[in-house]
Structure 1
Amino acid sequence: MKKYCLALDLKNDPALIKEYEAYHKAVWPEILESIKGSGIESMEIFRTGNRLFMIMETTDSFSFEAKGAADAGNEKVQEWEKLMWKFQQPLPWAKEGEKWIIMDKIFETN
């Protein structure tokens, strides 16, 4: 099992943030199917202010490249992503076209 942590910002607008959260209380079934079908076994999103933090636990064979390719060919995922971009904005250090940024682990207790 692999674990990834990612970050993204929302537009700093309370009404948009509220709407974004409402969508995530009723995620479209096709999106959930796409997530599970890609090898993501668990996904959680947390928010503080307008900053989002995602934790993903995946199978060992999970690949961001394969997920991206599958998503590119999935009309419903593309519709969802376009809709979510209404609420999201890239982190200041994101490259062109990047949304969720993989975070570096800098500490762990054992």
Structure 2
Amino acid sequence: MSRLALHSRLIAGTEQSYEREHARVWPELITVMRAAGIDDWSIWRSGRDLFHLVECDDYEAAVARLADDPVDQRWQQHMSRFVEGFAQNADGGRTLRHVWTMSEQLG
């Protein structure tokens, strides 16, 4: 399993609504995310900036599988009221560049 980080940004004024929506994410969404190969997903917020930590074997394959899922499509449409979108890196990718992990250094 690997971990990767993503960065997205909220639409101004939607911070509290976004957090309310995530107080309990739809159980059927969690089911389809797990079926797509996502083991865990955490989100932290700083102002309008969201930082996501995703744990899965193959993120690109999971995203491709979710793209055709009606539950995920409904969730993405629903959340588009709050999120501007995911940040793009200089190379056009969405994942943040990994810099350092303490446990990896300690071996």
Give the TM-score band, short-chain normalised: 0.7 to 0.9
Contact persistence 2:38–2:59 (CA under 8 A): no
- Compare 82-91 and 22-31 and name the one that shifted more: 82-91
Q: Deviations over 1:17-50 (max 9, x none)?
A: 1111111111011110112112222211000000
- Residue 39 (str. 1) matches residue 32 (str. 2): no
Secondary structure (helix, strand or coil) at the match of 1:102 reads coil
- SS for the counterpart of 2:60 is helix
Aligned 1:6-85 pairs, distance under 5 A: 6-13=6-13, 16-58=14-56, 62-85=57-80
Structure 1 partner of 2:5: 5
Q: Which runs of 5+ in 2 are unaligned?
A: none
| TM-score, scaled to structure 1 | 0.78
SS at match of 1:27: coil
Amino acid at match of 1:94: Q
Distance change (3 Å), C-alpha of 1:5 and 1:48: same
Q: Which runs of 5+ in 1 are unaligned?
A: none
Q: CA deviation at 1:80?
A: 0.5
After superposition, the Cα gap between the structure-2 partners of 1:42 and 1:24, relative to the gap in structure 1 and judged at 3 Å, is same
CA RMSD of aligned residues (A): 2.2
Deviation at 1:86, TM superposition (A): 1.0
Aligned residue pairs, count: 101
- The answer to whether the 8 A contact 2:40-2:54 is kept is yes
CA distance in 2, matches of 1:52, 1:23: 14
**Separation in structure 2 between the aligned mates of residue 63 and residue 85 of structure 1, nearest angstrom:** 24
Q: Percent identity over the alignment?
A: 26
